[in-house]
Amino acid sequence: MLPRLATLIVGTAFAADSDQFLIKGDATKGMLEQNMLNISTAEKIAQACVAEAVKEGVRVSVAILDQFGEPIYFYRMDGNGKQGIETAFLKAKTTLNTRQPSRATANAVARGGSEFRQWTFGNFAQGGGLPIIVNGNQFVGAIGVGGSPGRPGWNDEICAYRGLTQVMGKQPDLLPTVDQAAPAPAGGRG
């Protein structure tokens, strides 16, 4: 009984805390939806990510979509080109489609085989897109970051994760990166 009571208290406290991130009250009446990320939170996430990029000396674009795929917020740092903009949106859309980090699609491509066909249809196989989660399991949107060159200890996905956790608190852990599958032997049907 005591562990269940503790879980209920913690869960209730966490749910109440998540209200600050969601659209509430009269704004929900016209949309008929009460679990949408609010623009203030989306802007804070993007700005936290941009601050991380500035620390790293790189330029990024940040796209934040709601759970239906509609843009909530977009920010492009000066000097970030079209490729960074496009990949930010592609990574967020991949996360929206799969409800998983875009790294899951990248890992599927690295593994090859039937998993490659399953995961890549219409998705962008590169890390940098993450789900935005409240209450431990409620998907309320996706963030995609594009444009920075990856290097050990830094990439678009880390930027997105740091921005999310600074604003939203603990998010699901990042997926490990799967190395490319070994190519089939030459001359055979392998």
Distance, CA of 58 to CA of 76 (rounded, Å): 12
Query: Based on the number of CB atoms within 10 Å of its own CB, is 68 exposed (0-12), middle (13-18) or buried (19 or more)?
Result: exposed
Domains of the chain: residue spans and CATH: 18-168 (3.30.450.150)
Q: Is the pTM of this model over 0.75?
A: yes
Sort strands 138-146 and 71-76 into parallel, antiparallel or unpaired.
unpaired
Query: Based on the number of CB atoms within 10 Å of its own CB, is 137 exposed (0-12), middle (13-18) or buried (19 or more)?
Result: exposed
pLDDT tens for the chain, 190 residues long, are 444 444 433 443 344 466 777 766 676 666 556 678 999 999 999 999 999 999 999 999 999 999 999 999 999 999 999 999 999 999 999 999 999 999 998 888 888 755 555 555 678 889 999 999 988 888 999 999 999 988 999 999 999 999 999 999 988 899 999 887 655 555 544 4
Nearest to 63 by CA among 129, 136, 134: 129
